[in-house]
Homo-oligomer: A and B are copies of this chain.
């Protein structure tokens, strides 16, 4: 068996992207439905491949979380198929007119949405990403060039094969999804340097992957970054609302990037608020400043470090800081935030406005949980990641963020003088 070179794979994705860019919405939707049908019909094949991955991971001594992320069952495969149908039902961003005007000389200018081309995605163990990412790419007219982990290779292969078959049955190129089967360390490096092939790389992984991208990538990329999210409870907060929001933001799903990691409380209400919220944070380890230790006691709160303030715990741990005023709260947030999501709880409109104006994060939330920064909750119908960078996309990314624009200029013989 000859393994295709990375360049070959890239060339196939590129060629497919040119066909996809011109495909009608109807053709893309029909391909997504065909892929979903085949995924359902082929569930046994997918689960069989998945068992091989899971057994190998267990033999290799992988921890339970890793194995859980890897493991598929009938319900998870059905959810993948449903996801493809959901994406088919979303509005097609391609061809949307973003802006348009006529110049004084009569030249007409329109800015319209077009696909990016080839979207590269590096991801870890979850095999459902293969289907989810491929679906979003197809709907937005892009070829999906996927590089998953070696632990999920058999699962990814079986899913990709079914999706490719579905695309082909509908008359779209099977190379609308190209899976990199060489999962060596070198292949990641090669992947992120395919300039001229990959139009946008979305790395979904931990800090070491992001560091490698910053250092070695030559293709354009969007960083799906950490979420060191804060909730600030203001002096003018409805304290019951604040407690409900803090508990939800911290505990509803602590392992995700929009979970809160840090609680900041105005001194004027700390004495009342901390004992009020504490029972809801029963399973949560608190690491706080002197004032919070004084209020809740050293048995409940351990001393916080500067490193704690800057960390995304992704766990049932929360840092606590008591501040003198709004300025100190904003300073604290700005200093430690990773630029993902910060929330304020307050009844005071001027305070809310200042917080939203002065805090520089992808999402700045008033009187709601940080957990709402999410493609689904924003109404995008899906999500390919959450950008914490400022260029191209900031916040939840879905179909619109998988497009670029071009200018269509129309004249009647216009020349410059």
Query: A-side interface residues toward B, CB under 8 Å?
Result: 18, 21-22, 101, 103, 107, 109, 114, 116-117, 195, 199-200, 214-215, 218, 220, 222, 238, 241, 244-245, 248-249, 252, 334, 352, 356-358, 360-369, 371-373, 377-379, 389-392, 394-395, 404-417
The chain B residue sitting closest to A361, CB to CB, is: B406
Prevailing SS type, chain A contact patch:
mixed
- Judging by beta carbons under 8 Å apart, are A241 and B390 in contact? no
Indicate the member of A360, A395, A404, A407 with the most B CB atoms within 10 Å. A407
What is the bound-complex CA distance between A413 and B370, given in angstroms?
11
- Chain B residues lying within 8 Å of A218, measured Cβ to Cβ, are 214-215
- Judging by beta carbons under 8 Å apart, are B360 and A413 in contact? no
- Judging by beta carbons under 8 Å apart, are A364 and B395 in contact? no
- Chain B residues lying within 8 Å of A200, measured Cβ to Cβ, are 390-391
Number of copies: 2
What is the bound-complex CA distance between A220 and B391, given in angstroms?
7
- Chain B residues lying within 8 Å of A411, measured Cβ to Cβ, are 365-369, 372
- Chain B residues lying within 8 Å of A248, measured Cβ to Cβ, are 415-416
Q: A369 touches which one: B222, B356, B391, B414 (CB < 8 A)?
A: B414
- Judging by beta carbons under 8 Å apart, are B378 and A109 in contact? yes
- Chain B residues lying within 8 Å of A222, measured Cβ to Cβ, are 391
What is the bound-complex CA distance between A117 and B391, given in angstroms?
11
What is the bound-complex CA distance between A307 and B295, given in angstroms?
74
Q: A363 touches which one: B18, B377, B409 (CB < 8 A)?
A: B409
